[in-house]
Amino acid sequence: MNKTIVTGPPAAHSRSAVQLLAALEAAGKRNTAQRYAICRALEKHAADHPTVAEIYAAVRESFPMISQATVYNTLQTLKRLGVVIELDIANHDHIHYDLDVTPHVNVVCRHCENIADLHMRTVTSLIDEAAARSGFQIQRTAGLILYGVCPDCRRRRGDGRAAQEGEPQDA
């Protein structure tokens, strides 16, 4: 549950609140105070890959009477516009949101549940090869998810465990 960012440049590729709002406007969506607050909350927590609950909590600070439904609706709208992506992470109860829609990998720690962004040349190679080999037209290139243990947790909990096939998904 701690939200220390483990790796990677802070929000370097993430869209800003302004960009999100611009996308909404460009799509002919209305500019409401609630949406503004939600976009600000997204921007602020971008590096955490926030869940709906976290965004809801953050928005409430400045907008105490907002309803969850509005948060869900707006997030769905942003998702459909393609300016935000959903991260469905195994064994996590909530959906996470990522403002970075450029090709990258997300690495998830099984212990502290932190999520890091990783930008690598290899991602593009992988996608190109996958497209060539499968005949698929790959549309979404962000949010490739890898699971493991972050450096902090390795240190904290003792290391040693082999990173092998057959590694169980849970503790």
Task: List contacts with DNA (CB under 7 A).
Answer: 29-35, 51-53, 63, 65-70, 72-74, 76, 93-95
Residues 6+ apart with CB under 8 A from 168: none
Q: Does 118 bind a copy of itself (CB under 8 A)?
A: yes
Three-state secondary-structure class, residue 97: strand
* Interface residue with a copy of itself, options 4, 67, 136, 156 (CB under 8 A): 136
Residue 19: what are its φ and ψ, rounded to 5°?
A: -65, -40
Q: Residue from 25, 33, 88, 156 that binds a copy of itself (CB under 8 A)?
A: 88
Phi/psi for 40 (5° steps) reads -65, -45
Q: How far apart are CA 8 and CA 123, in angstroms?
A: 15
66 counts as binding a copy of itself under rule CB under 8 A: no
d(CA 13, CA 100): 5
Chain residues that interact with a copy of itself, rule: CB under 8 A: 6-8, 79-83, 85-86, 88-91, 101-103, 105, 107, 109-110, 116, 118, 120, 122-123, 125-127, 129-131, 133-142, 144-151, 154, 159, 161, 163, 165-170
